[in-house]
Amino acid sequence: MSTFDDDLMDVPCESCGKDVKVKMRELRTSPTVTCTCGQVIQVDATQLDASMRNVEAAEKKLDGAIKGFNKTIGG
């Protein structure tokens, strides 16, 4: 489970150019999305998971840096 599971992601449709809004949780469990134009879009769930792990690691690192900064300035 990811901290971003309830966040929406725009999945672009190559056929009509519209973005399909899908919750991250849905993409991780079912990486096939159908646009309103009927185009079926396949999302690489493995790549999505790897990218989300990188984002979460960066978020933790940033959070640690902010906490360290707050201690430095007496916050």
How far is it, in rounded angstroms, from Cα 13 to Cα 69?
A: 42
CA–CA distance, 68 with 59 (Å, rounded to integer): 14
Q: What tokens appear for 23 in the block?
A: 């919750």
Dihedral over alpha carbons 10, 14, 18, 22 (to 10 degrees): -30
pTM greater than the 0.75 cutoff: no
Split at pLDDT 50, 70, 90, the class of 30 is confident
Q: What is the pLDDT of residue 70?
A: 76
Question: How confident is the model over 49-70, as pLDDT tens digits?
Answer: 788 888 889 989 998 888 888 7
Which long-range contacts (C-beta less than 8 Å, at least 24 apart) are formed by 3-9?
Answer: 3/56, 3/59, 4/52, 4/55, 4/56
| Residue 75, pLDDT above cutoff 60 | no
Q: How many CB atoms lie within 10 A of CB 9?
A: 17
Whether residue 27 has pLDDT greater than 80:
yes
